[in-house]
Each structure stands twice: as structure tokens, then as C-alpha cells.
């Protein structure tokens, strides 16, 4: 039996595109002699469809697409993922299902049993968990088909009270197949290999695992589909962040002609770089946009975003706008122009000094003789946002936000100013990681000017301003933020690690006080295990 794993990039709700892509892949796999081709979780509609699942017509479109695929799947079998209707009145209206299609019809329907309801996942909002299990007979073999989370309950602290493979194993299957929509985080690939390998070792069965690739707004899927032997050793790994189709022969209980691989994982920064490129590219392509705009300050954050956008979209599709103020340094303008030259992107220079002064005069009767403070600083930032959004409206550019995770965490940004944008590129990348990312972008030649990397970070909203005037040094700040946000440790635990107690309390207070700002930020491309946005849900008005 020859099994093909189809690692594809789906578009949520684009049934015509998804269906055609699946049919083309079926034909390609069939031409290469495959007996069965396996697609990812909810491949028909894309993952996650969220409240589109509440629309009856959306679910009907899924079923119609599946039946259309079945008609064209006659001399080869396939496994596809889709939502299906729960016939029982009790419980949720839908199942998260897999169809096993053979000889032009749906031969079996497998429903997902373990529905994740944590971090970015919200499946129990829509789906009823399956309480039944069944294996599938095909070509003289018994297949144990599961859907993503159904294999993730084998660790030392199980999240669920049941384990679907325990029931399936009683039918003595010959192999396991798992179809998934497993989002990217820079540490997730190693965890994924460990969990899936543990299943193989526990049940002494080989495993074919298929993941999808592509970005769905803030969620990025990295692929990395896997094949394991019955000892839990990785026999093959599909590429990360790109589509792939690969065929394997299964015979006499073994996967043929493959030896265990020595997996050498990419560094975190390498993975983050690839993920952000895919996130930018898919956000634009799937939304029907082509041109990006951003404010280019000469600092490291906007430089990194500009370089990523140029690589993802093509330099000719990126507009960098330099908006010097009364407090901008000459080297900031020079650094920004050097980057533009290195990238070959478009640029404009639009000074905002006159605009800020106009607003100062406009507000003078109200502000009277009150001293210069954050109000005037923010007027400068909001003047820049006004320029960028005007150009966006006039020329059809989409604004990229350049704030990093450290700034987002502590509220070091201006609402309706530098926090504006359609998509946040670095909102899940700490400042210390931004420096690493800049150096990685420069790994072969200088793209980002060295001065943008080495000079002290500054918002340049007042004379001689530095980030360190308002914030702890980033190498300390980011460690505290990581412990609090990603690892969910409280102030006492963090202080016990050797950090100054007063500093820890100050940082955590800033994080909590900035929740109202984060609620109004653009969607953030998720690259960490705990990103702001849909993965971290905190009350705005709270006291803890």
C-alpha cells in the first residue's frame, strides 16, 4: 500500500480554491502510484473557521465540496477533514470530522474526540466530542485514524480523561494516521516530535502524521509532517513552511526503504524568520492585497519589519515613509535611507514638525501653560499615523505595525499612533529577539545598517530620549516578561529567581495596566507559545 501525505496551504472559506487544490493533489498522487492520499484537519474549509461554523450555509458548502471530491476519487482513496452535522439533538451541532473516501463515496466518518479549548484553540465552542471509535479497513490493512489532539494525551499531566488510541488499539490496527492543524510556535516542533513518537512507542505502531502550512491571520502553520516507525523513530520529515507531497510504501507492517533520521532542528530565530515571512505573505495574498506601507524611523524595529516585508512581498511593493520630527537625529534619517537603498524599496520623506506644531497651537488655549509631557510626545506619533493612513487610503497600501512584544507588554507605545496597523509583524517577538532577527537577516551581507542595530533604542519624541529612560534594560525586561507571560509565573516566583523584587513588581504592574492598549492593537503574527491576542485573554478592568 502506498500512502501519500499532502501538506498544503488552505484558505479559510475559499471552497473553490481548497477543493481544486485537493483534487489536483489527488490526481498528482494517483499518477505517482499512491493508493491513499491524506490531507490535513478541516482541509475542506481551512482552520480555524471560528464563527463561520455557526452559518448553516458554510457547513453545507463543506459537505458539497466533500461530495464533489468523492466523485473524482474513484481509483484512489483519500482522507479529508471537514465539519459535519451532529444528528443528535443533545450536544453541540457539529463534529470535527475526517472522511475516508473510497470508490467515489464516503466509506467512513471519524469524529474528533479530544477538543482543545486552551490558548489559541476554541474547538469546544463549536464541536461535540466523539464518544465512539472505529478503525478503517483498506487494502487488507486496519488503519487507526485520529484527528490532531486525539494523540496529545500521552504526557505525564493528561489534559483529558480519555485516550482515543487506547480504544482503537483494541482492534489491533496495522498503523496510525493523524491529520492535524498544528499552529507554529518556535518551540513546538520538538514537542510535536516527542508526543507523536511517544504514541508510536506506547502502541508499537508506525504513524503517518500530516500537518498543514500557511497563515490564517495571526495563526501560522508550519507543516513539518512526519513519518515514524513503530519504535517512535522519525523516518521522514516534510519541509517546514512550504507545500509538499510525498509518497511512502507500507508493506508487511513496515514502512519501506527508510532509515531513522537524525533531526537537526532549526534555531528559534531561523524558524521565526520563516514564519514571519509566511505570515506577511499569506495575510496579503489571502486578503487580496499587494502593497505594504510602514513608518521607517531608522530604528531596529521598523528596519526589521521593512526588510521582512521586502523579502515577503517584493521590494517594489513596499513603501517606507520617513517622518522626521523636531527631535529626530540626523543619523536616524541616514540609517533609514541606507536601509531603503540596500532593499531597493520605495520611500518618501514627509517631515511632521509642522503638523505637530499646528496641533500644539490648536491645543494651546486648552493646555495653557502646562509643561510639555506625554501629550505632546503622542501628538508626534499620531501625526505619523495620520500620514501613513492617508497614504494607505489614497494609494491602497496596507499599514504594517512595527511594535515589538516587549513594547506591547508594558504599554510602551501610542494608541492610534505607532500602535496602528492592519497586522503586527513583531508583536510576538521580544526586543532581544528583534536584535537577533536583525543579525540573522544580515547573515550574508549588510541589509539592515549596523548603526540601526547597535545604537540605543529611542522613540525620539523628546530631546535625547532613550527607551532605557522609561524601561529596564531589555535583556532584563525580556527575561521577566518571559517568566510572567509565557511561563505564567507570579511576582514572588520571579523574584525568587534572583530578579529585584521592586523591579519585578513594577514590570508586572506595567503589563497589567497596558491591557486596554493591547485590546486595541492589530492582530499579531503568533510565533511563541503564548502570544498576545487570542492566545492570552485577560480582563481589561481588573485588579490582581
Q: Which three cell numbers stand for residue 23?
A: 483534487
Is residue 512's pLDDT more than 80?
Answer: yes
DSSP labels for 409-449?
Answer: HHT-S-TTTTT--SEESSTTS-HHHHHHHHHHHTSSS--S-
Pairing of strands 2-7, 36-38: parallel
**Residue 3: which H helix or E strand, with range?**
strand 2-7
Q: Find how far residue 216's CA is from the centre of its chain.
A: 7
Q: Does residue 160 lie within any of the structural domains?
A: yes
Q: Are residues 251 and 278 in the same domain?
A: no
Buried b (16+ CB within 10 A) or exposed e, 132-170: ebebbebeebebbbbbbbbbbbbeeeeeeeebbbebbbe
Q: Does residue 81 lie within any of the structural domains?
A: yes
Instruction: Indicate which residue of 2, 41, 78, 128 is catalytic.
Output: 41
pLDDT for 236-262, tens place per residue? 999 999 999 999 999 988 999 999 999
Q: Are residues 89 and 50 in the same domain?
A: yes
CATH of the domain at 441: 3.40.50.620
CATH of the domain at 83: 3.60.110.10
Q: Which of 200, 228, 257 delimits the end of a domain? A: 257
Active site residue 73: no
- Going by pLDDT thresholds of 50, 70 and 90, the confidence category of residue 331 is confident
Q: Does residue 17 lie within any of the structural domains?
A: yes
Q: Does residue 359 lie within any of the structural domains?
A: yes
Backbone phi, then psi, for 138, in 5-degree steps?
A: -155, 125
Is residue 459's pLDDT more than 80?
Answer: no
DSSP labels for 354-409?
Answer: HHHHHHHHHHHHHHTTPPP-HHHHHHHHHHHHHHHHHHHHHH--EEEE---HHHHH
Q: Are residues 292 and 423 in the same domain?
A: yes
Q: Are residues 451 and 481 in the same domain?
A: no
Instruction: Indicate which residue of 45, 78, 135, 148 is catalytic.
Output: 148
Q: Are residues 178 and 212 in the same domain?
A: yes
pLDDT for 87-115, tens place per residue? 999 999 999 999 999 999 999 999 999 99
Q: Does residue 538 lie within any of the structural domains?
A: no
Q: Are residues 383 and 503 in the same domain?
A: no
Burial of 329 (0-12, 13-18, 19+ CB in 10 A): middle
d(CA 218, CA 321): 25
Q: Does residue 138 lie within any of the structural domains?
A: yes
Backbone phi, then psi, for 269, in 5-degree steps?
A: -70, -40
Q: Are residues 463 and 490 in the same domain?
A: no
Is residue 327's pLDDT more than 90?
Answer: no
Task: State mean pLDDT over 52-62.
Answer: 98
Report which of 418, 435, 426, 447 is spatially closest to residue 325, judged by C-alpha positions.
418
Is residue 480's pLDDT more than 90?
Answer: yes
**Is-contact 61 115, C-beta < 8 A?**
no
> pTM higher than 0.85 for the full model?
yes
Q: Are residues 356 and 250 in the same domain?
A: no
Continuous H helices in 180-329: 188-203, 268-287, 300-313
Task: State mean pLDDT over 480-492.
Answer: 97
DSSP single-letter state for residue 111: E
pLDDT for 28-44, tens place per residue? 999 999 999 999 999 99
Q: Which of 201, 233, 257 delimits the end of a domain? A: 257
d(CA 20, CA 9): 12
| Least confident window among 18-27, 424-433, 452-461 | 452-461
Q: Are residues 178 and 320 in the same domain?
A: no
Q: Does residue 436 lie within any of the structural domains?
A: yes
**Mean pLDDT score of the chain, rounded to an integer?**
95
Looking at residue 328, its pLDDT comes to: 63
Instruction: Indicate which residue of 112, 405, 489, 517 is catalytic.
Output: 112
Domain count across the chain: 3
Q: Are residues 86 and 217 in the same domain?
A: yes
pLDDT for 383-439, tens place per residue? 999 999 999 999 999 999 999 999 999 999 999 999 999 999 999 999 999 999 999
pLDDT for 203-214, tens place per residue? 999 999 999 999
pLDDT for 334-344, tens place per residue? 999 999 999 99
Q: Are residues 444 and 502 in the same domain?
A: no
Task: State mean pLDDT over 521-534.
Answer: 96
d(CA 469, CA 514): 18
Looking at residue 325, its pLDDT comes to: 85
Which residue matches cell numbers 523628546?
Answer: 462
Q: Does residue 544 lie within any of the structural domains?
A: no
Q: Are residues 408 and 282 in the same domain?
A: yes
Tally Cβ neighbours within 10 Å of residue 13: 16
pLDDT for 149-192, tens place per residue? 999 998 777 889 889 999 999 999 999 999 999 999 999 999 99
**Is-contact 504 480, C-beta < 8 A?**
yes
Q: Which of 211, 235, 257 delimits the end of a domain? A: 257
Q: Which domain holds residue 87?
A: 2-257
Percent of all residues in the chain with a pLDDT value above 70, rounded to a whole number: 98
d(CA 291, CA 301): 19
Active site residue 63: no
Looking at residue 75, its pLDDT comes to: 93
Looking at residue 460, its pLDDT comes to: 61
**Is-contact 499 480, C-beta < 8 A?**
yes
Which residue matches cell numbers 489559541?
Answer: 120
- Going by pLDDT thresholds of 50, 70 and 90, the confidence category of residue 461 is low
HEC per residue, 210-232: ECCEEEECCEEEEECCEEECCCC
- Going by pLDDT thresholds of 50, 70 and 90, the confidence category of residue 464 is low
pLDDT for 353-368, tens place per residue? 999 999 999 999 999 9
Report which of 300, 536, 284 is spatially closest to residue 437, judged by C-alpha positions.
300
Active site residue 41: yes
Angle at 387 between CA 381 and CA 391, to 5 degrees: 145
Amino acid at each position: 500500500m502506498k500512502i501519500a501525505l499532502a501538506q498544503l496551504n488552505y484558505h479559510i472559506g475559499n471552497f473553490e480554491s481548497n477543493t481544486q487544490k485537493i483534487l489536483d493533489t489527488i490526481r498528482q498522487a494517483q499518477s505517482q502510484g499512491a493508493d491513499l492520499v491524506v490531507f490535513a484537519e478541516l482541509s475542506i474549509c481551512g482552520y480555524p473557521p471560528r464563527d463561520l461554523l455557526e452559518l448553516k450555509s458554510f457547513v453545507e458548502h463543506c459537505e458539497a465540496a466533500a461530495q464533489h471530491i468523492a466523485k473524482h476519487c474513484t481509483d484512489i482513496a483519500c482522507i479529508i477533514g471537514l465539519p459535519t452535522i451532529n444528528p443528535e439533538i443533545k450536544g453541540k451541532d457539529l463534529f470535527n470530522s475526517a472522511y475516508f473516501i473510497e470508490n467515489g463515496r464516503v466509506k467512513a466518518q471519524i469524529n474528533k474526540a479530544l477538543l482543545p479549548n486552551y490558548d489559541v484553540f476554541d474547538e469546544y465552542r463549536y464541536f461535540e466530542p466523539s464518544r465512539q471509535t472505529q478503525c478503517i479497513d483498506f487494502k487488507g490493512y486496519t488503519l487507526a485514524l485520529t484527528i490532531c489532539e486525539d494523540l496529545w494525551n500521552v504526557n505525564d499531566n493528561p489534559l483529558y480523561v480519555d485516550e482515543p488510541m487506547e480504544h482503537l488499539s483494541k482492534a489491533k490496527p496495522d498503523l496510525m494516521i493523524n491529520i492535524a492543524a498544528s499552529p507554529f510556535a518556535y518551540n513546538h516542533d520538538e514537542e510535536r516530535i516527542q508526543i507523536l513518537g511517544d504514541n508510536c512507542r506506547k502502541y508499537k505502531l508506525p504513524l503517518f502524521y500530516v500537518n498543514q502550512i500557511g497563515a490564517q491571520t495571526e495563526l501560522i502553520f508550519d507543516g513539518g509532517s512526519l513519518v515514524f516507525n513503530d519504535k517512535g523513530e522519525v523516518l521522514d520529515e516534510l519541509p517546514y513552511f512550504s507545500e509538499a507531497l510525498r509518497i511512502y510504501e507500507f508493506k508487511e507492517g513496515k514502512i519501506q526503504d527508510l532509515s531513522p533520521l537524525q533531526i537537526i532542528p532549526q534555531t528559534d530565530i531561523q524558524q521565526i524568520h520563516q514564519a514571519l515571512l509566511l505570515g506577511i505573505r499569506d495575510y496579503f495574498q489571502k486578503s487580496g492585497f499587494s502593497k505594504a506601507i510602514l513608518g521607517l524611523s531608522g530604528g531596529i524595529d521598523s528596519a526589521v519589519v521593512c526588510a521582512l516585508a521586502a523579502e515577503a512581498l517584493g521590494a517594489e511593493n513596499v513603501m517606507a515613509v520617513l517622518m522626521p520630527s523636531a527631535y529626530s537625529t540626523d543619523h536616524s534619517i541616514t540609517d533609514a535611507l541606507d536601509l531603503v537603498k540596500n532593499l531597493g524599496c520605495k520611500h518618501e520623506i514627509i517631515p511632521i514638525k509642522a503638523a505637530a506644531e499646528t496641533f500644539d497651537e490648536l491645543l494651546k488655549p486648552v493646555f495653557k501653560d502646562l509643561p510639555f509631557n506625554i501629550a505632546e510626545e503622542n501628538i508626534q506619533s499620531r501625526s505619523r499615523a495620520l500620514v501613513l493612513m492617508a497614504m494607505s487610503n489614497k494609494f491602497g497600501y496596507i499599514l504594517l505595525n512595527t511594535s515589538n512584544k516587549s513594547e506591547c507588554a508594558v504599554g510602551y507605545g501610542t494608541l492610534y499612533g505607532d500602535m496602528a496597523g492592519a497586522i503586527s509583524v513583531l508583536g510576538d517577538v521580544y526586543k532581544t529577539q528583534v536584535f537577533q532577527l536583525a543579525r540573522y537577516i544580515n547573515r550574508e551581507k549588510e541589509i539592515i545598517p549596523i548603526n540601526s542595530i547597535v545604537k540605543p533604542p529611542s522613540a525620539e519624541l523628546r530631546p535625547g530620549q532613550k527607551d532605557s529612560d522609561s524601561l529596564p534594560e531589555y535583556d532584563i525586561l525580556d527575561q521577566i516578561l518571559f517568566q510572567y507571560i509565557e511561563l505564567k509565573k507570579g511576582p514572588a516566583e520571579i523574584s525568587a529567581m534572583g530578579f529585584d523584587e521592586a523591579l519585578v513588581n513594577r514590570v508586572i504592574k506595567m503589563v497589567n495596566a497596558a491591557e486596554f492598549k493591547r485590546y486595541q492593537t492589530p492582530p499579531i503574527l503568533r510565533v511563541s507559545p503564548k502570544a498576545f491576542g487570542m492566545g492570552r485573554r485577560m480582563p481589561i478592568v481588573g485588579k490582581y
